[in-house]
């Protein structure tokens, strides 16, 4: 049973298929019995162009008020000078930890159908090359600054190891390129080693990012918790999603000290918007992470199990994963599986 507490959550439906998958996730969360006061906030390409801001103040105000957001895909207008909505959110709210669980779902046809993949990727979310510090020295010569700090590196390492300890995970692998970037990635590694020393019960390994990428596609079942700086984390988390069927079935979370935003990491898919065939799995699994964050673990487990049951039966899955069901049919099947 869920608790009797009420929670306030900012709901950002987004663009394209965003409103469809956001509504599906909302229905699924409500069906768990957890009492959510949803606070819908519109943020899409039209609003960004109209307000002239990637992140209008009313969105920030809502997230600061509720402390928790569930976000669909938001399209940043292309070639218009606007910063990425996701980057702006992470910087403005200091959402320093990007968390991406990557798990095999039953019935998904991949090259690793006979292998159980179950890893969690922790990506530092605020600095590295994504600091956006670029300069054109002379015409056609550009420099970009890779910023790595002890504060951010210690913080993400502590988050990853504390998760591993709480979740009884066995191994943390730090991924780097310190053989070339000896100062920047070297600092990241020193911080990871310092934190690892506090958790002797957890095996600690280090892999150079190119070797790690090869190992992921050859032996993905050998990975447990991955710990990465921002750029490598962005690339590796999408690579890992491809191992289990793609971004449409993988959740994401952006965690800070005061706020947390849970999001489907796929795009807005405008080509299928309004057709009723969008897959809400990533949004629902992000809701599972949100429920865990809200300390509604029983409801999180129930929703996770229901999604996996629908995939195992395969009668009500969407076309992108080999089925024929629409968004609403899939959602109804998940809700029925929780009954």
C-alpha distances in Å from residue 44, one per residue of 16, 47, 69, 77, 268: 9, 5, 15, 9, 10
Q: Is the pLDDT of residue 81 over 70?
A: no
User: What SS3 state is found at 4?
Assistant: coil
Position 189 pLDDT exceeds 60: yes
* Residue 174: count of CB within 10 angstroms of its CB: 27
The pLDDT score that the predictor gives to residue 2 is 54
Do 244 and 113 meet the contact criterion of CB atoms below 8 Å apart? no
7-16 per-position pLDDT tens digit: 999 999 999 9
Residue 142 pLDDT greater than 70, yes or no: yes
* Stretch 52-69: mean pLDDT: 95
Indicate the pLDDT class of residue 82, thresholds 50, 70 and 90: confident
Helix 281-293 vs helix 18-31: angle between axes, to the nearest 10 degrees? 50
Check pLDDT > 70 for residue 235. Answer: yes
202, 165 Cβ separation under 8 angstroms: yes
Residue 20 has pLDDT above 60, yes or no: yes
For the segment 264-304, what is each residue's pLDDT rounded down to a tens digit? 989 999 999 999 999 999 999 999 999 999 999 999 999 99
Enter the pTM of the model.
0.94
For 155, counting Cβ atoms within 10 Å of its Cβ (0-12 exposed, 13-18 middle, 19+ buried), the class is buried
Local confidence band at 109 (pLDDT 50, 70, 90 cut-offs): confident
Out of 45-54, 85-94, 125-134, 327-336, the most confident range is 327-336
pLDDT one-digit tens code per residue, 195-231:
999 999 999 999 999 999 999 999 999 999 999 999 9
The pairing of beta strand 260-264 with beta strand 225-228: unpaired
Active site residues: 130, 177, 210, 234
**Residue closest to 261 by CA, chosen among 16, 59, 121:** 59
- What pLDDT is attached to residue 54? 87
Mean pLDDT, the chain, integer: 95
Q: What are the tens digits of pLDDT across the range 147-166?
A: 999 999 999 999 999 999 99
Strand order in the sheet with 225-228: 35-40, 6-12, 68-71, 260-264, 251-255, 97-103, 118-124, 225-228, 171-176, 203-208
pLDDT score for 111: 85
**Is the separation of the CB atoms in 254 and 146 below 8 Å?**
no
| Predicted pLDDT at 41 | 97
Check residue 127 and give its pLDDT: 94
Domains of the chain plus CATH, in order, are 1-98+248-339 (3.40.718.10), 109-244 (3.40.718.10)
- Per-residue confidence (pLDDT) for residue 3, from 0 to 100: 66
């Amino acid at each position: 049973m869920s608790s009797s507490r009420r929670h306030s959550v900012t709901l950002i439906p987004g663009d394209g298929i965003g409103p469809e998958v956001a509504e599906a996730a909302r229905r699924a969360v409500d069906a768990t019995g957890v009492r959510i006061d949803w606070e819908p906030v519109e943020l899409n390409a039209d609003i960004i162009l109209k307000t002239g801001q990637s992140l209008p103040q009313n969105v920030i105000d809502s997230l600061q008020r509720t402390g928790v957001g569930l976000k669909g895909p938001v399209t940043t207008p292309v070639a218009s000078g606007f910063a990425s909505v996701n980057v702006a959110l992470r910087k403005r709210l200091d959402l320093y930890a990007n968390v991406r669980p990557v798990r095999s779902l039953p019935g998904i046809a991949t090259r690793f159908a006979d292998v159980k993949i179950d890893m969690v990727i922790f990506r530092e979310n605020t600095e590295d090359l994504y600091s956006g510090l670029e300069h054109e020295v002379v015409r056609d010569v550009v420099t970009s600054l890779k910023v790595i700090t002890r504060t951010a590196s210690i913080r993400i390492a502590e988050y990853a190891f504390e998760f591993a300890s709480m979740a009884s995970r066995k191994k943390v692998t730090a991924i780097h390129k310190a053989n070339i970037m000896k100062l920047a990635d070297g600092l990241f590694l020193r911080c990871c080693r310092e934190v690892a020393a506090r958790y002797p019960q957890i095996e600690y390994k280090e892999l150079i990012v190119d070797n790690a990428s090869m190992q992921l596609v050859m032996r993905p079942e050998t990975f447990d918790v991955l710990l990465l700086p921002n750029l490598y984390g962005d690339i590796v988390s999408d690579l890992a999603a491809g191992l289990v069927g793609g971004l449409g079935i993988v959740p994401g979370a952006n965690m800070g000290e005061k706020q947390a935003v849970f999001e489907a990491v796929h795009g807005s898919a405008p080509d299928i918007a309004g057709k009723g065939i969008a897959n809400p799995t990533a949004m629902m699994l992000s809701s599972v992470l949100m429920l865990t964050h809200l300390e509604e673990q029983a409801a999180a487990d129930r929703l996770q199990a229901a999604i996996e049951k629908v995939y195992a039966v395969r009668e009500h899955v969407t076309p992108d994963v080999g089925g024929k069901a629409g968004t609403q049919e899939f959602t109804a099947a998940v809700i029925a599986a929780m009954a």
